[in-house]
Amino acid sequence: MRMVMTGNYASAYGAKLARAEVIAAYPITPQTSIVEKLAEFVSSGELKAKFIPVEGEHSAMAACIAAQTAGARTYTATSSQGLTLMHEVLMWASGARLPIVMTNVSRAMAPPWNVWVDHMDTVAQRDTGWLQFFCRSNQEVLDTIIMAYKICETSGVMLPAMIVEDAFILSHTSEPVDVPEQALVDSFLPAYSPELKLEVGKPMGFGSLVKPDQYMEFRYKAMLGMKEARERILRVEQEFKHIFGRAHGGLLDLYKCADADVVMVAAGSVAATAMDVVDAMREKGMRVGLARIRAFRPFPHEEFRSLAGKTEGIAVLDRSFTFGAAGAMFTEVKSSIYSCQKRPVVKNYIAGLGGRDITPKILEKIFEDMLVVSKRGAEDEVEWVDVAGLPRRWR
């Protein structure tokens, strides 16, 4: 059924259709309406789940970990300061190999206090062992939540997944969304049944002490899980497409890249704007393309290596900045293609922090800059876009 809904409601409907059995959450702007809607589903009986209101995000994740260890399918949602408060337990979730699914409404980190879109919170959790999916539409949010459970709940993967919605641009903007039939989702996503779980009659300790002689083997296994996730994302999406008739582009969603002189790399909602800009620039005869990072973890290294041979320049748009280095996506893209025979020029554009609009005009100027830079190399590898006081005019 097609409905008009916000990204946050798309998250709530996704968790409901996936039949999450335990939901533990703490409200934070702009995530609140996700858990409000889920609380409504639970209280009306539409969703048979245990809803646990907790005193903070660290507890929300701890409750999900406990419930998931006991064999329940769990869901939570958070944003920004809430996500970073969870940091310690995010590591527990992945190390304990619990396929928890969570929405993070990506929002700037304070100070300065700011509730608008920025990817710093998500990027800061890239080493926690969670799969991370950036979305560009509300439909993709709903679909990816359902897919994430199926990707993660297999003995070869058993890792948690984070679905990233851009604050306000997706979380609070209404779009038409196809809400699939429950029976169809049930045929796609079977009930969660882990091989080992907490049982009252059979007490066991999970995640217990391991000495230096055995620790590395467990970390190696988690690495294998993330490696398997890569293949599993592609397979599950094919299956999803077969049943629901749509797909969202695997790990790296390529748009008009086949013959592109330069390609822009972006993640999240700005990638939707960039598609329009690509179309407009191609009408003017400029061969540009877009490579949208959909999975940031596992990172699409192979896809980037194959893209490197086909283009002259890659403009990486980062909506966050790693102080003392560069944008995280930029450093990842560069490291991916380092071993390639033919390496295009790569330049980093830092834009849209704290909800600053990245307009079509700005994206067009980035493409124009990259078309020049791809021929003569970049003077500055990292450029901050649209910062008052800097000489270059972007608006």
**Can residue 210 be called a binding residue for other proteins (CB under 8 A)?**
yes
User: Residues 215-224: contacts with CB within 8 Å, 24+ apart?
Assistant: 218/95, 222/94, 222/95, 222/97, 222/129, 222/159, 224/156
Segment near other proteins (CB under 8 A), from 115-123, 204-212, 249-257, 350-358? 204-212
Contacts of residue 313, Cβ cutoff 8 Å, sequence gap at least 6: 261, 262, 263, 344, 345, 346, 347, 370, 371, 373, 374
To other proteins, the closest distance from the beta carbon of 350 in angstroms equals: 38
Kindly indicate which of the ranges 168-176, 217-225, 252-260, 379-387 contains the residues binding other proteins, using the contact rule CB under 8 A.
217-225
193 lines the binding site for other proteins (CB under 8 A): no
Q: CA 261, CA 140: separation in Å to the nearest integer?
A: 28
**Following CA atoms 308, 314, 317, 321 in sequence, which dihedral angle do they give, to the nearest 10 degrees?**
80
Under the binding rule (CB under 8 A), the answer on residue 213 touching other proteins is: yes
> In this structure, is the dihedral angle defined by the CA atoms of residues 28, 33, 36 and 41, taken in order, positive or negative?
negative
Q: How far apart are CA 346 and CA 370, in angstroms?
A: 9
Question: Which listed range, 37-45, 203-211, 272-280, 325-333, lies at the site for other proteins (CB under 8 A)?
Answer: 203-211
Could you tell me which residues are beta bridge partners of residue 384?
A: 350
Closest distance of CB 327 from other proteins, Å: 33
Helix (H) or strand (E) holding 262: strand 262-266
Interface with other proteins (CB under 8 A), residue from 48, 218, 241, 372: 218
Q: Does 201 help bind other proteins (rule: CB under 8 A)? A: no
- Which residue in 44, 193, 214, 341 binds other proteins (CB under 8 A)? 214
Per-residue x/- mask for other proteins, residues 79 to 98, rule CB under 8 A?
A: ----------------xxx-
For other proteins, which residue of 4, 110, 184, 204 counts as binding (CB under 8 A)? 204
- Burial class (CB within 10 angstroms; exposed 0-12, middle 13-18, buried 19+) of 326: middle
Burial of 110 (0-12, 13-18, 19+ CB in 10 A): exposed
The residues near 2 (Cβ < 8 Å, ≥ 6 apart) are: 176, 177, 178, 179
Stretch that binds other proteins, among 211-219, 234-242, 301-309, 365-373 (CB under 8 A): 211-219
Using rule CB under 8 A, residue 209 touches other proteins: yes
- Binder among 196, 243, 258, 390 for other proteins (CB under 8 A): 196
Build a one-symbol-per-residue string for 96-115: x at contacts with other proteins by CB under 8 A, - elsewhere: xx------------------
CB of 148 to other proteins, least distance (A): 18
Angle (deg, nearest 10), helices 138-152 and 7-17: 30
Minimum CB–partner distance for residue 203 and other proteins (Å): 6
Contacting other proteins within 135-164 (CB under 8 A): 155, 158
Instruction: Give Dmax (Cα) for the chain.
Output: 70
Residue 227 interacts with other proteins (CB under 8 A): yes or no = no
Residue 360 interacts with other proteins (CB under 8 A)?
no
336 alpha-carbon distance from chain centroid: 19
Name the residue nearer to other proteins (CB basis): 30 or 129.
129
Instruction: Identify the residue among 206, 244, 384, 394 touching other proteins (CB under 8 A).
Output: 206
Please identify, using beta-carbon distances, which residue of 220 and 338 lies nearer to other proteins: 220
Please give the structure tokens belonging to residue 67: 């419930």
Q: Which residues bind other proteins (CB under 8 A)?
A: 95-97, 155, 158, 196, 202-210, 213-214, 217-218, 220-221, 224-225
